Structure 1
Amino acid sequence: MNAVEQNLAKWKDSLLSSIPVGGLLSRNPVAYKWKATFRVWMLREAVFWRLNDLMTQSYALHQQGHGLGARILLRSGFESLATLIYLNQLMQQVLDGKLSFHAFSDKTATLLLGSRDGSTEHQSVNIMTVLEKCDKRYPGIAKLYGILSESAHPNYEGMVAGYSKVEHSEYETHFSNRWMELYGDRHLGSMELCMSTFHHEYNDVWPALMEKLESWIEANDTDLEATKQV
């Protein structure tokens, strides 16, 4: 069993089945009277569920030799990872006094409820904007996403390179499905990078930030009440 398979097995058993509001209020009644803190929990766990689903399917396709589908799903996985990284960055900005709590609350609503088709009241955040901010914490993540995106689109990489090869000596172009040939040996390594980064952000970064944010809200609750919009 390789590292990806081991992680997927652990993830499946670690997915949170519910978030009881009563439990959060018992944890900190002041912090969790604000919608933003509940949304932070929702975002964290929704990212975990989505990333687990994407990585499970990407791994399955890779094992079956379906290289393109595996890469497209991995690309979506990095988008999901970026959402959690960005959320953690926003929490840190509140603690550092660089972002107001009410603006933070609006951003959590956009991250959780944003859409492009008008199905919700919030316009979703551009994922490239999120990735650019994440790249400051993890240099190279935006470039890797860009490489995966080239495979996902019907441009040179997505069509010509993925399905044809020129034999110059024969003056002939041969067609075949080349995705596993081109990227098969690198795919699991990229999956491991995505999963290990998520593990750090989910298990190490987020819990520490959440505890600090809860304490910060308690300390600033009077001011927050005075400045909230009715």
Structure 2
Amino acid sequence: MGAPVLPRKAMKAKEPLRILCIGLGGGTVPSFYAESLPHCQVDVVELEPAVVHAAKEGMGFREWPNLRVFLEDGVTFAQRKVQEGATDVGVYDAVLVDAYDPDGNVPEALWNRGEGLVEALSDGLLRRCGVVATNFLPHVDLAAPLAAYSGALSSHGSGRSFSIQVNKPVDPENDLEKIFDVEGTGNRIAVHICGAPPELADGPLPVLEDRLKQEAKKVGMATGCVWDMPDLACRGLRDWPAVQAADEVKIFSM
């Protein structure tokens, strides 16, 4: 998307790569960004103080100069940043949602049309070439959230919605696989990119897959990542065309 991710590009960038993570969990995802990407400012919003305490005391999480944690509701935080405009924090290159209610579902305020985060995206939370991604349980129909994100970011230029599948245990006897396994898939990450070049926004899925693999390989090599980044970036890749997503939303709401 043109954001300054790789080290050589980051050193030339006038502004840091800005990432908003809604939901801390154990802190491994924001820590990876802050430690591995040299020109990156990560803001994490977590509602529950107990989660922050557990991450710091039990999982070794710590804040860095470029990694800040805010104890606040994620929607409230996002809306406030939009109201502040281009301040010290400003708008973000990526908004990543990994937050759940007590039942294990992503709160509707973080994905539903007309709700808080979608409105913040529409009002300018994301930069014109950016990414919003949300981690959903495998049974969730992604048509509604992706249609909501796409509609909110329609003014940002050409966009594309797709999803990938997270890794799952390879041992079929592993109980964890049974917990997260629905129709052979693990959690799915719903992704919408905005301000995309034509070949990514409108090209066939193999073109997007090839570009994802190329860029994932570069990032993996630059960060010294031990995981197979191209595989992770494209596992279970599926297209969600805007028209299809909108039609499915209409059917779902009838």
Which structure's CA Rg is the greater one?
A: 1
**Structure with the higher helix share, 1 or 2:** 1
Higher relative contact order (CA 8 A, sep 6+): 1
Q: TM-score, normalised by structure 1?
A: 0.26
**Structure with the higher strand share, 1 or 2:** 2
